Amino acid sequence: MVPSPLPDFSGRTVLVTGSTQNLGHTIALLFARAGARTILHGRALADAQAACDRIRAEVPAANLHAVNFSLGDAAAIDAAFSDLKQRDLAPDILINNAAHLGLGSDTSFLGQTPEFFREVVDANLHGTFRCSQLAALEMRARGKGGAIINITSLAGERCIWGRSAYNTSKAALEGLTRSMSLELAQHGIQVNCISAGYIWTPRWNDLSPEHVERRRKNTPGRAPTQQEEIARLTLFLASGQAPTLIGSRVVIDGGLNSQQVPSDATV
């Protein structure tokens, strides 16, 4: 199947958090191909600049910029957005993709430390809140509207065993999406979230063939969601082609959300 043409984002500025690799990088690449002025984000500036270089190799005419901050550092977020404003790079599209995966030596509910739980929630919820707030304030001031899209996870509704901090942060992020959408719609700022299930990343190459086969078998679509699928959905949500799609949780998960139990454990 030939992919459909991308929407035209000429004259628009997008910030994609967590865009040095995997899904965030694919989203940034498609926005760059669609003509957007694209800001790539990483924890380290060198990583964000290297990601810009990789996209520029594929899209030589791309208008790319790099920014760095930690989602768990509110002061760093404030400084980064202030710098973007001074450089006339305040985004009118914000893709909140970066996330703490909630992985560690002991992530069980009883075993994790309070500090670890707070670290995950600070990054995934508080960091996203502050990025969204600062971006929305500038969008409102310009009076031209905008779009904010939060990348959540099926784990916000169907939890992953032993990762309560991550599950909780993603569930809360979906609640934040709905709350933001109600208040920001009056300013022409469209807010939605994308809830994904299994996403193909190079980590799949490290799984045993048996593990991969079981994942595929237990996904109704029989395959993980490809990064470009989600990236294209992100562009659609930011394009204004569905202006009354507000506060929605768009699920793209190969059908995982539709099944009560996997096929190898039918009741």
Active site residues: 166
| AA letter at 202 | P
Give the C-alpha distances (Å, rounded to integers) separating 152 from 156, 188, 223.
7, 22, 19
Whole-angstrom distance, CA of residue 122 vs CA of residue 171: 14
Is-contact 172 121, C-beta < 8 A?
yes
CA-nearest of 171, 96, 169, 170 to 135 is 96
What is the chain's length? 267
Residue 192, H or E segment: strand 189-196
For β-strands 64-68 and 13-16, DSSP reports them as unpaired
CA-nearest of 149, 161, 158, 160 to 249 is 149
